[in-house]
Structures are given as C-alpha cells and as structure tokens.
Amino acid sequence: MNSTTRILLAALMCTAAVACSKQVKEEAPPPAQPTPTPTTPAPTTGVYGPEDLDTDACLRQRVVYFDFDQDSLRPEFQSIVACHAKYLRDRPSARMTLEGHADERGSREYNLGLGERRGNSVSAAIQANGGSGSQQTVVSYGEERPTCTASGDDCWAQNRRVEIIYNAR
C-alpha cells in the first residue's frame, strides 16, 4: 500500500471514530397543549338551593350529547355532570329522570338499548361525583322523541343525547 492510501485510510478511520463517538443530543418534546378548563365549573363553596336550577349557568345545562354509536360521556360534559351531582348532594329531596335518546339510524330495539346505556353512563358519572343513585331514574326513548326531524349529521347529533329532568327540587 502506498503512503497516500494509508494516510487517506487513517483520516477516514479517524473521522468515522469521531463521528461515532459524538453523543446525539435529544431534543425535548414540545410542551404539552394546555388542557381546556371547563367553561362552567361546579361551585366549590356554597350549597345549591332549588332556585339555582333556573339561575346557575351550569345547572341550566341539562342536555348531554354523545358521539355516533357511543355511550361514553364526552369530556366536555364532565363539569355539567359534576354540577348536577353537587346539586343532588346538597338537596337530598331532589329527584331527576335521565332520558336517553338516539338518532334514527339503527333498529328500534338497538336505539332503545343505546338510549338506556347513555342514561346509565350519565347516572354513573353523577354517582362518581357524589350524587346518589336513589335520586335518579333512567328512561330510554330511543329514536322515538327526536328534537330534530331532518336527516343529516347535524340533526342526528342533536338527537344523540341524555336530557336531565328534575321531578322534585
């Protein structure tokens, strides 16, 4: 081997050794997006009274919407459920009916079952937030009582819901 080849080979090996010995600096992950705060949080102090059902912004929201073919509670409705649970805790004489509904797609039997599962999902969330199950009744109407009668995604989304109806304040 001639000396020029040896020098080039040695330089190449040194370059490879230096490149391999460098530590790769890991980039920090991008900062996490802040979680949205609920628009109507449950009051942390004070006791709800019957008049609050009509005056409190959180308690006036009495419809919980669901995604297509789903019975799990969407995160944006957690604060509403927490308000109603606190109301039930503060008012042991209060009673509510949770009316489960579905859109027109699916068989009558399937939609009745889906409406009941949705009502039970809201009931379980209220109980998880301290509300009493004995103060709640779940009823399913399936597709029988639509709020919107047109066919289309926007209309169907309005019909996939649970309505919170207070029987006793």
Residue 30 lies in a domain: no
pLDDT at 31 over 60: no
According to the model, what pLDDT value does residue 119 have? 97
Q: Which residues contact 161 (CB under 8 A, 6 or more apart)?
A: 63, 64, 65, 66, 101, 118, 147
CATH of the domain at 128: 3.30.1330.60
pLDDT at 62 over 90: yes
Contact 135, 122 (CB under 8 A): no
Residue 146 lies in a domain: yes
What does the block give as tokens for 16?
């490879």
Residue 31 lies in a domain: no
According to the model, what pLDDT value does residue 96 have? 97
pLDDT at 33 over 80: no
| H helix and E strand count, the chain | 6, 4
What does the block give as tokens for 121?
């999902």
Three-class SS of residue 78? helix
According to the model, what pLDDT value does residue 6 have? 62
pLDDT at 18 over 90: no
According to the model, what pLDDT value does residue 46 have? 79
Number of domains in the chain: 1
DSSP 75: G
